[in-house]
Amino acid sequence: MGGGQSIAGNPGADNRAEAYFAGGCFWCIEADFEKIDGVIEAVSGYSGGDTPDPTYEQVSKGETGHRETVKVIYDPKKISYKELVENFWNMTDPTDAGGSFGDRGHQYTSAIYYQTEKEKEIATQSKQEIQESGKFDKPVDTSIEPLKDFYQAEEYHQDYYKKNKISYKTYRYFSGRDSFIQDHRQVADKDNQKKEEQDMDNPEQNYTIPEKEELKEILTPLQYKVTQKEGTEPAFENKYWDNQRPGIYVDIVSGEPLFSSLDKFKSGTGWPSFTKPLEPQNIVEKDDWTLGGVRTEVRSKHADSHLGHVFEDGPPPSKMRYCINSAALKFIPKEELQEKGYTEYLSLFQ
């Protein structure tokens, strides 16, 4: 059986509203929407066809007239419908009339399904603005249609990017979606922009980053190679792989807090390993294809130092292993936290 009940209608109450977008592979559209502040959940499914309760096999073969569609459940007090539409233009190629990147056929073309005349007006105006902006060198072909139905896709399609990280990233990379988005992205991520403005207003969140030439004088050759050239230090022959003292680990360049000894564990790899970051907002994850397959690189946000990689073979409950180079870190023992300006973390060790 397919997704079950057909769902359509106006936005709900209790600060929850719904919006519907088709932009090719629903794994990718779902993943991108769920990263936006104000989005509660994104659900993969099928819209726009005539066959009741379609299956993925039917839709993927173009037998039903449906498109792969994502239902976006959001909080209208945190993000507007207009902002969702603006974000949507950054998720796909709206000029492709024949499909979406490697996926061809009507079922993979782009569309915005509106529920009200107001949504139709917003979507139509936004489409006109994006066309006139010059962001794309071809006409925007995204269809704007009334929502007739929405059938939730099979369970294995939901949160595919979380359940199958490697295959998802591999598909997304080789489909050409990421390179296209990178080349055409012009609309700023408003959440990141606000965060950067907040950081500028908060002196405690400002970090002084020396110039490259100065870093060569400050850092050891190994520290420079690791943090600035994406190098890797020798296993079992580094400063912190077996360090068991309580305290926190900060970026060697900026001093931004990264990891805690409370989350450190013996992985047997010969490098410091952690189950989670101390400050997730100071960690940036990027796809790394340098060894022929995809890995997830870990970098610091403010210094942009290469730290190491994260893997999904750690201990429960997170099952994550942040494998970090000692050369990218500076250890602050708990007895020095106040002296070094990290008083807020003292409570972790009491």
Clarify whether residues 44 and 173 are in a common domain: yes
Clarify whether residues 52 and 135 are in a common domain: yes
Q: What is the CATH number of the domain that holds 106?
A: 3.30.1060.10
Clarify whether residues 25 and 173 are in a common domain: yes
Predicted confidence at residue 316, as pLDDT, reads 86
Clarify whether residues 225 and 285 are in a common domain: yes
Predicted confidence at residue 155, as pLDDT, reads 95
Q: 202 lies in a domain? A: no
Clarify whether residues 53 and 169 are in a common domain: yes
Task: Please enumerate in sequence order all residues whose Cβ is within 8 A of that of 8, keeping only pairs 6 or more positions apart, or say none.
Answer: 115, 147, 148, 149, 150
Q: 7 lies in a domain? A: no
Sheet containing strand 306-311, edge to edge, reads 264-265, 273-274, 321-324, 306-311, 295-300, 283-288
Clarify whether residues 52 and 124 are in a common domain: yes
| Domain count across the chain | 2
Q: Position of tokens 């990891």?
A: 259
Predicted confidence at residue 270, as pLDDT, reads 97
Q: Which of 17, 25, 250, 294 is catalytic?
A: 25
Distance CA 298, CA 289 (A): 13
Tokens of 130: 């994006």
Give the domain range for residue 278. 209-349
Q: 257 lies in a domain? A: yes
CA atoms within 13 A on the CB side of 225: 8
Clarify whether residues 172 and 302 are in a common domain: no
Clarify whether residues 217 and 313 are in a common domain: yes
DSSP string, 235-288: TTSSSSTT---SEEEEETTT--EEEEGGGEE--SSSS-EESS-SSGGGEEEEEE
CA dihedral sign, ordered 213, 214, 219, 224 = negative
Phi, psi of 177 (to 5 degrees): -65, -45
Clarify whether residues 118 and 253 are in a common domain: no
The length of the chain in residues reads 350
Nearest to 128 by CA among 140, 145, 137: 140
Q: Is 323 a catalytic residue?
A: yes
Clarify whether residues 172 and 265 are in a common domain: no
Q: What is the largest CA-CA distance in the chain?
A: 68
Neighbours of 261 (CB within 10 A): 22
Q: Which of 140, 162, 191 is the last residue of a domain?
A: 191
Q: 108 lies in a domain? A: yes
Clarify whether residues 171 and 36 are in a common domain: yes
Q: Is 28 a catalytic residue?
A: no
Clarify whether residues 216 and 342 are in a common domain: yes
Q: 263 lies in a domain? A: yes
Q: What is the pLDDT of residues 216-234, one digit of tens each?
A: 999 999 999 999 999 999 9
Q: What is the CATH number of the domain that holds 332?
A: 2.170.150.20
DSSP string, 20-77: EEEES-HHHHHHHHHTSTTEEEEEEEEES-SSSS--HHHHHTT-SS-EEEEEEEE-TT
Q: 53 lies in a domain? A: yes
> To 10 degrees, what angle do helices 81-88 and 117-132 make?
40
Phi, psi of 58 (to 5 degrees): -70, -45
Is the CB of residue 58 less than 8 Å from the CB of residue 64?
Answer: yes
Q: Which of 191, 226, 261 is the last residue of a domain?
A: 191
Q: 203 lies in a domain? A: no
- Report residue 50 CA to chain centroid gap: 34
Predicted confidence at residue 201, as pLDDT, reads 41
Cα pseudo-dihedral 1, 61, 88, 179, rounded to 10? 130
Distance CA 210, CA 214 (A): 6
pLDDT along the chain (350 residues), means of 10: 44 78 96 93 96 95 96 95 95 95 95 97 96 91 96 95 84 86 59 44 60 92 96 97 97 95 96 95 90 89 95 88 97 94 91
Q: 258 lies in a domain? A: yes
Predicted confidence at residue 206, as pLDDT, reads 60
Helix (H/G/I), strand (E/B), else coil: 141: coil
Q: Position of tokens 């507007």?
A: 80
Specify the DSSP class assigned to residue 346: G
Q: Which of 137, 157, 191 is the last residue of a domain?
A: 191
Which amino acid is present at 219?
L
